[in-house]
Amino acid sequence: MYSRVPSGKPDPLAVFGRIVPRDHALLKLLAEHYLLSTDQITNAFFDTRRTAQRRLTILHRLDVLHRFGRSGTHGRYGSLLYTLGPIGLQLHPTAYHDPNGLGGTAPRSSLERAKRIAASGQVNHLLGVNQFFTDLIATARHTPDTQLSRWWSEQHATTVYAQAGIRPDGHGVWTLGDTSTGFFLEHDNDTENLARVVAKLRGYERLTTIGPRYPVLFWVPSRRRETSLLGVLAGLRSASPIATAVHGPDPAGRVWTLASDPTHRRHLHELPCDHGPDTVTNPQRFDHP
């Protein structure tokens, strides 16, 4: 009678059997959007922060994820940030690897990729953009018949719409019932003058002649900034709908002001939207996050 003799070596494939569908959904987001905070991951996938922390710790120990914190003059602040680890990058080898958009060579390892992200100077901007979209995912998790049907990163949207030359901070499609509203996000932190902000609309004008006519959303940090931007946009003729709102926890809510009709606020799904002739924007082919 033969007995099983332990090899003494860990099974290198065992980790793949421990990655559940929710983990795969998280890895897909991290491959496209670089990094997410503990709080953002909690909002998007978990019911409690403690449950999220436990699972993220396991994934970190299994080398599925890397994690790092942000430091300032008073020490570390904010929640931990997560990106693809060695196993995560094996599962997503074509992940975006340069948040500065320089198009350099692919990193030799997941650690090199994580270092590029952490040192890019784009961390706060990426987190701001990703907060917008993870808030939409959180809303969809708790609101029947709603869904963030598409979430593309800056690099993804820039590549798809290269002919128009747009460079949005993100592109999404928000679905409520039978209504699907595509949009381009311009995440504003009041670091650019308004003339430069408005100049971004030229590419969106070109896009309307060859593709969809999606609203351009200016997500701004203060009511003062929004008032100033609406003043500049007043009377501007644009084929693309333009809407503004102030940073907040509910971008799907009644927070949007159309530059062409600033008399009242609208929900995200109430903004005018034309999917146009482009097959990549066909509502029947939206990519689920």
Structure confidence at residue 70 (pLDDT): 82
Last residue within a domain, chosen from 121, 137, 165: 121
pLDDT in tens, 185-232: 999 999 999 999 999 999 999 999 989 999 999 999 999 999 999 999
Is residue 191 exposed (0-12), middle (13-18) or buried (19+ Cβ within 10 Å)? exposed
Shared domain check, 142 and 73: no
Shared domain check, 111 and 161: no
Tally the domains of the chain.
2
- Nearby residues of 118 by Cβ (< 8 Å), 6 or more positions away: 68, 81
The C-alpha atoms of residue 19 and residue 59 are separated, in whole angstroms, by: 8
Residue type at position 205: E
Last residue within a domain, chosen from 65, 90, 121: 121
Residue type at position 45: F
Shared domain check, 164 and 90: no
Asked if residues 117 and 67 have their Cβ atoms less than 8 Å apart, the reply is: no
Report in angstroms the alpha-carbon separations of 230 from 203, 235, 245, 263, 273.
19, 10, 10, 12, 20
Nearest CA to 263 out of 234, 220, 224, 222 is that of: 234
Is residue 228 exposed (0-12), middle (13-18) or buried (19+ Cβ within 10 Å)? middle
The C-alpha atoms of residue 151 and residue 251 are separated, in whole angstroms, by: 14
Q: What stretch of H or E contains 252? A: none
- Nearby residues of 8 by Cβ (< 8 Å), 6 or more positions away: none
Shared domain check, 76 and 89: yes
Low-confidence ranges of the chain (pLDDT < 70): 1-10, 72-77, 278-289
Last residue within a domain, chosen from 121, 137, 168: 121
Shared domain check, 103 and 24: yes
Residue given tokens 């991951």 in the structure block: 41
Q: How many CB atoms lie within 10 A of CB 218?
A: 25
Share of the chain above pLDDT 70, in %: 90
**Predicted model pTM:** 0.91
Structure confidence at residue 51 (pLDDT): 98
Shared domain check, 158 and 95: no
Shared domain check, 22 and 159: no
Shared domain check, 159 and 72: no
Structure confidence at residue 278 (pLDDT): 56
Range of the domain at 115: 14-121
Nearest CA to 38 out of 27, 48, 52 is that of: 52
